[in-house]
Amino acid sequence: MTQLIDPFARAIKYLRVSVTDRCDFRCVYCMSENMQFLPKKDLLTLEELDRMCSAFIRLGVEKLRITGGEPLVRRGIMTFFDAMTRHLDSGALKELTLTTNGSQLAKYADDLYAAGVRRVNVSLDTLDDQKFADITRWGRLPQVIKGIDAAQRAGLRVKINTVALKGFNENELFTLQSWCADRDMDLTFIEVMPMGDIGNEDRLGQYWSLSDLRARLAEQFNVSDLAERSGGPARYVQLAETGQKIGFITPMSHNFCESCNRVRITCTGEIFTCLGQEGHSDLRAPLRASDDDAVLEQAIHKAIGLKPKGHDFDYSRQSVDGRVSRHMSHTGG
């Protein structure tokens, strides 16, 4: 089977798949409060998601991350995770993981571990109950903490993803860092990205450069760069005093495009070969056109051939340039 190589000689090994655009939160940097979600008929069925992911695995994808929206609100989603277990058992798939808001982890943590999941990323931007309710609009912090507890008991390695938001969680930098260190969890900070219409929220006002955040960490810790990569966009440092690993995802202040080995599939079967570009291809039509996966695989190769060198996100001119119109919940985090 021909491997997936993009026009810049990058082998595509990492697939992120959104299984739903729906979520039980309405985070202010991700969604508007009154979202219009896609009709269910437009979504790939769980069986179609299996075919899609299996085709990519045959073509060399070794890491599969399930995203949303909130993936665990998709009805019957554990049947999909259970189906993917066969690719872990065969050795073709090296890792099956997911990104979640944590709201459903208490319910699904044991089942996820049984399906072969060993790591989960939990999105968590504050440890203050009221601020959490404010930023998620519909979420409640105790429910997420309960989910994280369940995930750790089940044997899942938890990494916390925190969006760095100016004027919101700047004063919690060391609180979050210390809380994660106490629980033996890695922590990754993410710069806010200009995706989708979120109503009255100010993207530029939200933006907190991670170079500033790192400088603040260096005031209290000896910070050293790590060479390791997780297959994603994060660059890591280690805090000598705690041994803790801190990640930085910096699409704005320092893009990570040169080593990009990943693509994203939406819940409707569109492939986005770059998070920060509008360009995409439809894989749902070839998927549904034939029971023979040859048509689908040909479409996948064609889409990978259009993968750009990098994104165009830019806040440097005091305006949000490179904005893309779709919400993060549609593409998948």
Which parts are annotated binding residues?
16, 23, 27, 29-30, 65, 69, 99, 123, 159, 193, 257, 260, 262-264, 274
Q: Are 293 and 44 within 8 A, CB to CB?
A: no
Nearest to 269, CA basis, from 38, 3, 14, 36: 38
Q: Could you tell me the end-to-end alpha-carbon distance of the chain, in angstroms, rounded to an integer?
A: 29
Q: Quick one: 292 exposed, middle or buried, by C-beta within 10 A (0-12, 13-18, 19+)?
A: exposed
- What is the Cα–Cα distance from 218 to 268, expressed in whole angstroms? 43
Alpha carbon distances (Å) from 139 to 135, 155, 203: 8, 25, 21
Three-state secondary-structure class, residue 297? helix
Which residues in the chain belong to E strands, given as ranges? 14-18, 63-67, 95-100, 119-123, 157-164, 186-191, 223-226, 235-239, 244-249, 262-265, 270-272, 281-282
Residues at the binding site for [4Fe-4S] cluster are 23, 27, 30, 257, 260, 274
Instruction: State which amino acid sits at residue 178.
Output: S
Residues at the binding site for S-adenosyl-L-methionine are 29, 69, 123, 193
Taking only Cα atoms into account, the Rg of the chain, rounded to an integer number of angstroms, comes to 19
Q: Quick one: 34 exposed, middle or buried, by C-beta within 10 A (0-12, 13-18, 19+)?
A: exposed
Q: Are 250 and 258 within 8 A, CB to CB?
A: no
Kind and range of the H or E run holding 114: helix 105-114
Q: Are 221 and 202 within 8 A, CB to CB?
A: no
Give one DSSP letter per residue of 192-238, joined into a string: ---BS--TT--HHHHB--HHHHHHHHHHHS-EEEE----SSS-EEEE
Residues at the binding site for GTP are 16, 65, 99, 159, 262-264
